[in-house]
Amino acid sequence: MKRPRFNLILSSVICLCLWAALTGYFSVHQLLVPAEAAMRLACGALIADGAKPYIDFLDNSSPYALYLAAIPQLVSRLVFVHPICVFNMLVALLTLVALLLVLNCARGDSRRLLLVQYCLPAIVIGTALTLVYFLNYFGQESVLFFLLFLPYLVQRYASISNIKTDNRRLSCSPAIGVLAAIGLLLNPIFLLALLAVEFTCLIALGDISLTKIKTQYLTSELKACLLSLVLLCLGLFCLAPTVVHEYLGPISQINQLAYEYYENGFSYVDKSPDRRDLVYAFVVFFVLALPVAGHCLLTRLMCVMSAFGFSYLVFTGTLLTHQGILMIAYSLTGLLLAGNRYLRSFYLGKRITAAVVRKCEDWLSAPIGRSGTRMLVLLPICAIASFVITSFVSLKQVQGKVFTLSELGYYGFGFEHDLSFFSKTVKEASTARQSVWIYSEQISPAFPLLTQLRRKPGFLVWGFPLHTLKILHERGTPDQVAQLAKFEQRLYERLRADALSRNPPVLIMIEDGEVRDLFKDHGITAIIDKFYSGLDPCSPLNGDEMAVHMPYEYLGYRVPFSVDKLKK
Amino acid sequence: MKRLDLSIFCAVALIVVLSLRMLASILLHPLRIGWDPALHLQCAQLIAAGGLPYVDMFDVNPPLIWYLDVLPAVISSLCNVPVTLSFNLFMWLLMVLSSALCAYIALTKLESGSSLLTNLGLIFGLLYFNFFLTFDFGQREQIFVLLYFPFLFLRYARYSGAVIGKSEAVFIGLLAGVGICLKHYFLINAICVELFLLLTTSRKKIWSNFFATESMSAFIFALGYLLHFFLLPQAVRENYFGFLVPAFASGYQFWDTSLAGSLGAPDKRGVFFLLSLSGLMALAFSRRSSLLGCCAAFAFSGVVPYLLQFKGWAYQDIPAFAGAVIVICGGIAALIATLLELISKAKRNSVKYSSIFSATCLALIVLIAGISIVNGREEYDKVKAEPNFPMSRIGFAGDSPYSDIDSPFATIILANAKARDSIIFIGNAVAPGFPVTTQLNVKPGSRHLHCCILSVLQYIKDVRPASPEKTRLLSFKDGIIKEYIDDIEKNKPILIFMQNNPASEYLAPYKFEQYLKNYKKIDDVAGYTVYRLQV
């Protein structure tokens, strides 16, 4: 029997344990999801019902991010489990698949593969630490991109370094390329990451020649990635041309204007989350990883991606915690890769590591029964133990009342503490599947609440693009205003028509200030006054709300919401 | 032409071309200066005239920059040229010195083969970033970059195994020591660079490299600077360590700027995109030249002091910006070198490579010189087309573009005061009192060059919880107001500019107007009420 490779086994164990722990945690917290992911899940539900993005509802995410969100919704409808729980389980599965693909890049007996195998624990531990630290942001766009793109980076490292995996085994490179392409399409800005990585890889070839480019550069994962990008773009263009037209038209214009007309109101402390600790951590990790980047292409790629993550954070302009995930995830992985090398550069460290590794390999390869080894027994035991321990600890730590999800039409249970702000008001004034409008300048607090309670959002899924359109009128050029005039007119007409339709929203919550003023100016408040009766306003600063629910990040002042219920 | 000759020629040509371009710009704008450098120059002038820091002039900044600025201040008074011009020439000298030292190390201590073009690119970047600073030209951050970079090159050469002479190591170490001590935050950059070098090189001679002559001389300078505080007069130490430092430490968050405001704002984010690009360049070419990585470590570490300073002011990211520009220029040069290698390989001719290499270097120098000449001519035409300010009005020969001093405050000062008259700006920021006071050769009429301290005290009063320390710090406010009153009584400033909000609110409880009975309100401009002394 072949001697098991310690790094491979250690990484497999961590990988399985991580998956089991995530599954255990989210099987307890079935309603826990970050706001942006919940918002896309709500869009996914609308798509599953036959709606078209940007035509039947408005959001500024890329169409691929929205269509992908329909998958958990469709699965949820088949198994009657809450879509948030399905989503979390799918992301946990993606974590497992991504890490197994990474491990697959290092499988084999050749000596050169040892180079990749040395890197595996750092990659897996880096991923695990990132996911655990950002557990409240599990499923965010950045997390999905990180997981989808990670195997691609490792495979590129192997290809460029001319490290061939075992030829007898099925190559996963095409699948890695396809996953990377899906990740890149989640947000158009991610395509810049591909350019940066490929530029670095090309230069890393060193002595660039046509033969080298053919054999080491244009390998199957790159071809699969590029082909998938082309096919996915063409596919969307052919299957939903109106969606593409709207996305490349007004939605992209609004995204561009939002970037151009930066909101200065963010510039004061206490009115915004201030995660400069993440930036400090990034700088430290990056600087410590940098010395190894010259010698190790994989560390270099991680550093390139972390620099990209930093510019992505800056590009967003809002600098919320989840926007810093890429920066931290890649720089931490880069640091761990570098740390591995630093450790092995010390004679004593190398000797001790070698001794420990040899002992472990001996122990793991010891036979149990006729065909098994300790290793084969160890893997499932660790996974089951992780699942049980995490579930047990999560159950112990939960706060607030538990309730059954049957009233929402699903199997399972949820905890009051996992619900977002204003859940009491929304629960009392509406039932599952009814339309509820919660409009403010940002995604929270409308989401994750509406997705958690299975309420349908309106044509405007959240406040997008009200703020940008308002700024456009104040600071935009006449040309810019004219370009979006039709779009704006259609938006408000649609809102008025929905409010007066046969199935109007049963509950409308509007943030005081800008959104309220806009609704007043465009005649929506008049409709609300006529057909709705006012309830007590809700405030995100209400002590009871703050005591019961988890805090959420919000830029600017937190002001109360008016609450209006449809008259019977 | 031999390779060595070519490299020396290229380095010298690069430095000469860009230095001359900068010199032309400085001579065309003899009065151009930013507010902070103008304030520091003013302090240096007062020190040169025998004043004591934190006694005869109040500002929170550590005094090293004032000591450094004494040199241009003295030269200005000896040669009777505007202090702004002598300061800008001093900066120009630093720029030339820094790039010349870097070129010297790159050409004599570092491997000159494949990384020659990259190193020249880095030196180009070191000169080039200065052109983007305009009103931030002369900030401590820029001085730090200029003084520190020869040290960075030398440290890199040391860790690469180069033989370094003692005298050059001492000189460059002292320069770096001065640069780092200008602001304690700069130590972060130095630590990150040192960490990079320690982790990059093998463990052989690690301690002898770490404690090398240049690092010891930088350390000894820093130690000497720290010790000098003990030698300062008692009043200086009491005011600085007993009041200003604790007050600013406690009230520093008065300048609260969020992370989003510091990194994401449209006027700031460009620097951080450049930084990311520099990261890509340094990483992509890290095998060709690890010096690029070292410079990238410097650039990225510049983000930490920028955020730690909490203000989000553009000049505070100069180390990050300069580092990014330097790395990008080095990276572009590395890319050109890579392409040249590709071409020569395609032609399978190493002799050809040498000639292509020389031709490319010469072409680049000609291109840079050409662009500098055209660009310099444009600046000259622009300056000549603008209204001129005859500097005879402030006691100097020559002209300056009026736009360099143009502000409503300058108009009032020129109409009511003459050179060396005293004026006071009571405002809670360095601007608008500076640079106009320094530019127009008038004297500050109070030891309080601005009243930031009153805002800081107000912040402490409003936000900090009650404590004996808070009470102690707030008790200084009465003394500050009294000092203002004494200074007005003693110096009889011809003009007093009083900020309407918040400065006059701080003074309102003291019925400050009663001390201005010899003054007549003559204007209300840009948020300031202007009082003129009635003779």
The ipTM value here is 0.93
**Smallest CA–CA separation between A347 and chain B, in Å?**
11
| β-bridge mates for residue B389, sequence order | B400
Instruction: Check whether residue A348 and residue A429 sit in a common domain.
Output: no
- Determine whether the interchain pair B266/A260 forms a contact, defined as Cβ–Cβ distance below 8 Å: yes
Minimum mean pLDDT range among A266-270, A276-280, A387-391, B319-323: A266-270
Chain A contact set for B296 (CB, 8 A): 290
Q: CA-CA distances (angstroms) from residue B168 to A155, B11, B207, B338, B504?
A: 48, 19, 20, 33, 54
Record: contact A286-B342, CB cut-off 8 A: no
Asked if the C-beta of A208 comes within 8 angstroms of chain B's C-beta atoms, the answer is yes
In A, minimum Cα distance to B189 occurs at: A287
pLDDT at residue number A1 = 45
Q: Are residues B307 and B417 in the same domain?
A: no
Q: What is the pLDDT of residue B530?
A: 96
B398, part of any domain: no
From chain A, the residues in CB contact with B307 under 8 A are 276, 279-280
Looking at residue B348, what is its pLDDT? 54
| Residues in Cβ contact with B171 at an 8 Å cutoff, skipping those fewer than 6 apart | none
Domain match, B379 and B412 both: no
- Best of A287, A310, A312, A348 to disrupt the B interface by mutation (most B CBs within 10 Å)? A287
B314 at the A interface (CB within 8 A)? no
- The verdict on A358 and A424 lying in the same domain is no
How open is the CA angle A340-A346-A347, to the nearest 5 degrees?
A: 125
pLDDT digits (tens, 9 = 90+) for A62-99: 999 999 999 999 999 999 999 999 999 999 999 999 99
CA dihedral A240, A244, A246, A252 (to 10 degrees): 160
In A214-253, at which residue ranges do the beta strands (DSSP E only) sit?
Answer: none
Let me know if residue A86 belongs to a domain.
Answer: yes
A290 contact B CB<8A: yes
CB contact under 8 A, B260 and A280: no
Question: Is the predicted pLDDT of residue A320 greater than 50, yes or no?
Answer: yes
Whether residue A317 lies inside any domain: the answer is yes
A358 and A425 assigned to the same domain = no
Rg of chain A in Å (alpha carbons): 25
Stated length of chain B:
535
Looking at the structure, tell me whether residues B144 and B28 fall in a common domain. yes
Cβ of B263 within 8 Å of Cβ of A311? The answer is no
β-pairing verdict for B519-525 and B528-533: antiparallel
The single-letter code of the amino acid at A256 is: Q
Angle at A133 between CA A131 and CA A135, to 5 degrees: 60
The closest CB to that of A314, out of B253, B264, B279, belongs to B264
CB contact (8 A) between residue A286 and residue B286: no
Domain identity same for A108 and A177:
yes
| Span B102-153, pLDDT tens digits | 999 999 998 766 688 899 999 999 999 999 998 899 999 999 999 999 999 9
Which range of residues forms the domain containing residue B77? 3-244+271-383
Q: Is B351 exposed, middle or buried (0-12, 13-18, 19+ CB in 10 A)?
A: exposed
Q: How close does chain A come to B77, measured CA to CA in Å? A: 43
* Residues B491, B357 share a domain: no
CB contact under 8 A, A290 and B282: yes
Residues A345, A435, single domain; the answer is no
B233 in a structural domain: yes
Q: What is the pLDDT of residue A58?
A: 95
* pLDDT value at residue B112: 67
Same domain flag for A92 and A215: yes
What DSSP element (H or E) covers B496? strand B495-499
Q: Are B209 and B339 in the same domain?
A: yes
- Mean per-residue pLDDT, A103-117: 84
**Calpha distance B136→B35 (Å, rounded):** 8
Q: DSSP labels for B109-166? A: TS--STTHHHHHHHHHHHHHGGGG-GGGTT-HHHHHHHHHHHHHHHHHHHHTT----H
Residues 6+ apart with CB under 8 A from A405: A30, A82, A411, A412, A413, A414
| Burial environment of residue B336 by CB neighbours within 10 A (0 to 12, 13 to 18, 19 or more) | middle
The verdict on a CB contact (< 8 Å) between B283 and A280 is: no
Give all strands (DSSP E) within B269-347, no chain letters.
none
Whether A325 and A440 map to the same domain: the answer is no
Q: Is residue B74 part of a domain?
A: yes
Chain A CB contacts of B271 under 8 Å are none
Looking at residue A455, its amino acid is R
Residue A532, domain member (yes or no): yes
Closest-CA residue of B relative to A303 is B283
Note whether B378 and B413 are same-domain residues.
no
End position of a domain, from candidates A317, A346, A364: A364
Nearest to B146 by CA among B19, B233, B51: B19
Tokens read off for A337: 């890769």
- Reading the block at residue A201, the tokens are 């890889």
- Percent of chain A with pLDDT strictly greater than 70: 96
Is residue B1 predicted with pLDDT exceeding 50? no
Average pLDDT over residues B354-368: 89
pLDDT of res. A166: 65
Give the chain B residue nearest A287 (alpha carbons): B297
Listed range (A147-151, A184-188, B312-316) with the worst mean pLDDT: B312-316
How many domains does one find in chain B? 2
Pairing of strands B443-444, B422-426: parallel
Q: What is the pLDDT of residues B469-498, one digit of tens each?
A: 999 999 999 999 999 999 999 999 999 999
Which residues in A lie closer than 8 A to residue B258 (C-beta atoms)? 266-269, 271-272, 274, 319
Q: Please give the average per-residue pLDDT across B155-163, as a whole number.
A: 93
Cα B246 to Cα B243: distance, rounded to the nearest angstrom = 6
B278, two tokens? 């520099």
Q: Average pLDDT in the A156-162 region?
A: 93
Q: Please give the distance of CA A544 from its chain centroid, rounded to a whole number.
A: 30
Residues of B in contact with A310 (CB under 8 A): 272, 275-276, 279
Residues A426 and A355 placed together within one structural domain of the fold: no
- Among residues B160, B146, B161, B104, the alpha carbon closest in space to that of B290 is found at B160
Query: Is B316 a domain residue?
Result: yes
Residues A217 and A117 in one domain: yes
Give the CA distances from residue B492 to residues B155, B446, B467, B485, in Å, rounded to whole numbers and listed in that order: 53, 10, 38, 10
Asked if residue A262 belongs to a domain, the reply is no
DSSP three-state, residue B388: strand
Whether residue B349 has pLDDT greater than 80: no
Percent of chain B with pLDDT over 70: 97
Q: Are residues B521 and B418 in the same domain?
A: yes
Residue B258 inside a domain? The answer is no
Domain-located, residue B400: no
Is residue A41 predicted with pLDDT exceeding 60?
Answer: yes
Quote the CA–CA distance of B133 and B259 in Å, as a whole number: 23
For residues A184 and A329, membership in a common domain is answered with: yes
Contacts 24+ apart (CB under 8 A), A208-211: A208/B338, A208/B342, A209/B345
Looking at the fold, whether A140 and A76 belong to one and the same domain comes out as yes
Residues 394-413, chain B: which have Cβ within 8 Å of A? Answer: none
The four Cα atoms B41, B47, B49, B50 give a dihedral, to 10 degrees, of: 170
Q: Are residues B302 and B174 in the same domain?
A: yes
Cα A95 from Cα B448, distance rounded (Å) = 61
Amino acid at B304: V
Asked if residue A71 belongs to a domain, the reply is yes
The residue from A332, A364, A396 where one domain ends is A364
Residue B77 has pLDDT above 90, yes or no: yes
Q: Is the pLDDT of residue B350 over 60?
A: no
Task: Decide if A307 touches B, using CB distance below 8 A.
Answer: yes
Say if A44 falls within a structural domain.
Answer: yes
Average pLDDT rounded to a whole number, residues B80-89: 97
- Total domains, chain A: 2
What is the spatial distance between Cα A268 and Cα B379, in angstroms, rounded to a whole number? 38
B48: left (phi over 0), alpha (psi -120 to 50) or beta: alpha
Tokens of B507: 């003074």
Distance CA B442, CA A34 (A): 59
Q: Are A88 and A214 found together in one domain?
A: yes
Contact B448, B218 (CB under 8 A): no
Question: Which of A294-298, A380-384, B348-352 shows the lowest mean pLDDT across its residues?
Answer: B348-352
Last residue within a domain, chosen from A318, A346, A364: A364
Give CA–CA dist B154/A15, Å, rounded: 45
**Structural domain range at position A552:** 419-566
What are the pLDDT digits (tens) for B388-426?
A: 999 999 999 999 999 999 999 999 999 999 999 999 999
B254 contact A CB<8A:
no
Cβ of B531: how many Cβ atoms within 10 Å? Answer: 23
Say if CB B323 and CB B293 are below 8 A apart.
Answer: no
Q: Provide the residue type at B317 as one letter.
A: D
Note whether B285 and B431 are same-domain residues: no
pLDDT of residue A140: 96
Q: Which pLDDT belongs to residue A164?
A: 77
Per-residue pLDDT band at A558 (split at 50, 70, 90): confident
Same domain for B330 and B283? yes
Interface check for A237 against chain B (CB to CB < 8 A): the answer is no
Contact present, A173 and A220 (Cβ < 8 Å): yes
Same domain? B367 vs B438: no
Length of chain A, in residues? 568
Which residue does chain A place closest to B190, by CA atoms? Answer: A287
Assess if residue A371 is contained within a domain: no
Band (B18; pLDDT cuts 50, 70, 90): very high
Distance of CA A503 to the CA centre of its chain: 33
CA-based radius of gyration for chain B: 25
Q: Is residue B228 part of a domain?
A: yes
Say if A174 falls within a structural domain.
yes
On whether both B412 and B509 belong to a single domain, the answer is yes
pLDDT at A344 over 90: no
Q: How far is CA B374 from CA A97, A525, B21, B23, B385, in A?
A: 59, 61, 10, 15, 17
Percentage above 90 pLDDT, chain B: 83
Nearest CA among B426, B453, B456 for reference residue B527: B426
Mean of all residue pLDDT scores within chain B: 93
Q: How far apart are the first and last CA of chain A?
A: 75
The pLDDT of residue A347 is 73
Residue B82 forms contact with A (CB below 8 Å): no
Q: Which residue has the tokens 């996911």?
A: A131
